[in-house]
A and B are shown apart, each in its own frame.
Chain A
Amino acid sequence: MESKKITCIVCPKGCQIDVKLENGQIISIENYGCKRGIDYARNEVLDPRRVLTTTLKLSTGRVIPVRTKEPIPKKCLKKAMLETKNIVVEPPVKVGDVLVKNIAGTGIDLIATGNAK
């Protein structure tokens, strides 16, 4: 049996929720403060996801800010960062432009959050 401690971020209280797993299946969720905490803890254990925000190099020097269009699996963050390492973007770029398709094999695109002329 595996147990995980999850700090809930649904509200500022920050409950320390205990989740117990067996063979990848949740068998119990304890010490939650409200129902929203149960859902949060379940997602955090089974499929934690994050929006990755970073920058890409511009051919003109400096960098352009980007983010994943949707949250990607937390375990893919490092792989995604390594993939962005050698990418150089050619201006012009405007907010919302897709700069990298299917980052780290997640099926999710990396889009520009800034403008470059």
Chain B
Amino acid sequence: MINKELVVIGGGPAGLAAAIEAKKNGVNDILLIERDSRLGGILPQCIHNGFGLHVFKEELTGPEYADRFIKELEDLDIEVLLDTMVIELTENKQITAVNRQNGLMQIQAGAVILAMGCRERTRGAINIPGFRPAGIFTAGTAQRFVNIEGYLPGKEIVILGSGDIGLIMARRFTLEGAKVKCVAEIMPYSNGLTRNIVQCLEDFDIPLLLSHTVVYIHGKDRVEGVTIAQVDENLKPIPSTEKYYSCDTLLLSVGLIPENELSKMANIKIHNVTSGPVVNQRMETSVPGIFACGNVVHVHDLVDFVTMEARLAGRGAVDYLKDKLPSSDRISVSAGPGISYVVPHLVDAEKILDKKQNFFMRSTKPMEKARLFIESDKDLIGTKVLQHVRPSEMINIEIKKEDLINKDIKTLRFFLQEEGVADGK
């Protein structure tokens, strides 16, 4: 049995920032475990720009953003195991990992930070009828083929789902000489950032079909085409709106799921909306000493927020390792009308690590103008007017520690109320 003060599982943006932050705050005996042959997680394949505006105040590409953290990790001499898969995690913080050099390893950790990220939803998750030919890829898989391996998986493309990876890949395929026929989105609004709609679709005259979905995939050995239909307000295809698009490739950009097999193994409580662990103010899960950060907790749209959250988890683990005392879950945080979820889910106000606490949340639908209410069981803590609220863009709210302490608050609830647009439209 190997003993480690802190083990970080996952070497993507979350794991890197969490390990660095823990080391900087005095934990020396750290091991970072990564299943891929290199660090950076999904960032090395995200070669487009737009990363780092919050953290570095400049615009970087994914590989550059990762490179900064990887260099810092090396400078801090943090031990890393690459090509190593964690296959078991227990409530007592025992880790079983396996790789080619060492075979099976048993590690006893003082604290654990979960940073396993998320994975893409596939065809199976959305049940598209038809044959099962080659040529159906998730957008991220296609991105890996093009940007890491150097292969173009198709020449005539249809993209289902307007998530950011799908939009980015529409541009990437077009630049590489493929023809992207259209992007179909089942919702009446796009799930991607406006910036990506403009620079990835409009720049190249790629049509975005809102309230449309793929109802059939044609072709037996290879995709030959898809049938796309318009959907009604209940997202059901409308008969007689079907249209055939010939293509050799269908890309799916239909959402991401936090990867929590290990969390479940350790009996960590999972939230039913985020599909990630329930966490408190220091990113600690329901099992004391096991922390979580990044897309394993909830799916983010900006890596900068992953880094912020991971730094908090790193310092949370340092805080725990000092006295090994669990945080008491005094305040229960909940999402009211208009909000789908709030992270963290629990707060021990005494143990908030900074002068303020960040709360991350998403709206349930787009609203041009809305007022956010923050309400405790005692009183209204505050309200804030938000413009152009979108489910795809995470809301980040800071509350001062002093507003949460000394009041013996038991619950905290966030809710959104749509307001009339000021200019009367």
Contact = CB atoms under 8 A, between A and B. Distances in A.
B100 interface: no
Contact of A54 (B47, B60, B194, B199): B47
Interface in A12-70: 12-14, 50-55, 57, 61-63, 65-67
A65 B61 contact: yes
Given A95-B64, A113-B47, A114-B63, A81 B175 contact: yes
Nearest to A54: B175
Interface string A62-82: 110111000000100110010
Nearest to B149: A62
B195 interface: yes
Given A14-B194, A65-B63, A67-B49, A7 B202 contact: yes
A57 B49 CA distance: 20
A51 B175 contact: no
B67 A65 contact: no
B57 interface: no
A9 B175 CA distance: 21
A115 interface: yes
A66 B393 CA distance: 28
B147 A63 contact: yes
Nearest to A67: B61
Contacts, number: 77
Contact of A7 (B44, B48, B197, B388): B197
B41 to A, nearest CB: 14
B35 interface: no
A77 B148 CA distance: 21
A11 interface: yes
Contacts of A53: 47-49, 61
Contact of B194 (A7, A50, A62): A7
Interface string B33-59: 000000000001001110000000001
B393 A12 contact: yes
B176 interface: yes
Contacts of B59: 51
A12 B63 contact: no
B157 to A, nearest CB: 17
B175 A77 contact: yes
Contacts of B44: 65, 114
Contacts of A63: 147-150
Interface of B: 44, 47-49, 59-61, 63-64, 67, 146-150, 175-177, 193-195, 197-199, 202-203, 368, 387-388, 390, 393
Given A9-B194, A67-B49, A113-B61, 7 more contacts: A9-B199, A12-B194, A67-B47, A81-B175, A95-B63, A95-B67, A114-B44
11 contacts: A7-B198, A12-B388, A13-B194, A14-B194, A53-B61, A62-B148, A63-B150, A66-B47, A67-B61, A78-B175, A114-B64
